[in-house]
């Protein structure tokens, strides 16, 4: 394969959306519908999608090198930092919960989710490089990160998000990557 600078992808901009698990993902050329909540500004270090793999080597007394390797785990995570503080960012960062007005006072109170609540979401990450768009569809996710509120006069409060990608069941893949980049067209 020759050097091809046009195949170097740079995430010039990006967006993240969440929706209830089971929500239909939008068509590739369509904006996400009302059930998809855009999470707003993401820290400059962007998105990190990690597709890890753990293997177990099988040895035999007749060989110094493995005779077989089995894949034991394939954990997947999507990490990013949310810069906006709103009801959706707080709930995602803190594992659920709700905001409500206290009476008619104009004062709003956050109540955390009950202990043991599992706040699963569908996640859509979109990055754009020039005219090329890449969308990552994660069908069932759960935020594994906690939040440490650091309140300084020279840095925003942000919500570190590390979404564990969970098995959606029924033999379906845990994720898909879509792109309109013509370089991915299968050779005929």
**Does some domain include residue 11?**
no
Residue reference for tokens 């979401």: 121
Phi, psi of 50 (to 5 degrees): -110, 120
**Does some domain include residue 5?**
no
Q: pTM here?
A: 0.91
At 30-85, the pLDDT tens digits run: 999 999 999 999 999 999 999 999 999 999 999 999 999 999 999 999 999 999 99
**Does some domain include residue 15?**
no
**Does some domain include residue 14?**
no
**Does some domain include residue 10?**
no
Other residues' Cβ atoms within 10 Å of the Cβ of residue 37: 19
State how many domains the chain has. 1
**Does some domain include residue 86?**
yes
149: exposed, middle or buried (C-beta count within 10 Å: 0-12, 13-18, 19+)? Answer: exposed
**Does some domain include residue 8?**
no
At 90-149, the pLDDT tens digits run: 999 999 999 999 988 999 999 999 999 999 999 999 999 999 999 999 999 999 988 888
Look up the domain containing 110 and give its range: 35-180
At 136-169, the pLDDT tens digits run: 999 999 999 888 888 999 999 999 999 999 999 9
144: which residues sit within 8 A by CB, 6+ positions away?
77, 162, 163, 164
**Does some domain include residue 42?**
yes
Alpha-carbon dihedral 36, 37, 43, 47, rounded to 10 degrees: -20
């Amino acid at each position: 394969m020759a050097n091809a600078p046009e195949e170097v992808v740079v995430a010039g901009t990006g967006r993240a959306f969440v929706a209830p698990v089971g929500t239909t993902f939008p068509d590739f050329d369509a904006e996400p519908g009302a059930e998809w909540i855009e999470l707003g500004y993401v820290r400059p270090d962007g998105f990190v999608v990690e597709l890890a793999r753990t293997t177990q080597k099988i040895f035999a007394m007749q060989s110094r090198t493995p005779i077989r390797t089995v894949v034991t785990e394939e954990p997947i995570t999507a990490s990013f930092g949310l810069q906006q503080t709103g009801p959706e960012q707080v709930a995602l960062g803190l594992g659920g919960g709700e905001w409500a007005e206290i009476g008619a006072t104009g004062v709003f109170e956050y109540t955390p989710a009950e202990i043991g609540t599992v706040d699963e979401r569908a996640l859509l990450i979109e990055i754009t490089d020039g005219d090329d768009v890449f969308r990552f569809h994660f069908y069932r996710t759960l935020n594994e990160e906690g939040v440490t509120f650091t309140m300084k006069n020279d840095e925003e409060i942000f919500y570190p998000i590390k979404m564990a990608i969970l098995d959606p069941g029924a033999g379906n893949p845990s994720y898909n990557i879509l792109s309109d980049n013509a370089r991915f067209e299968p050779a005929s």
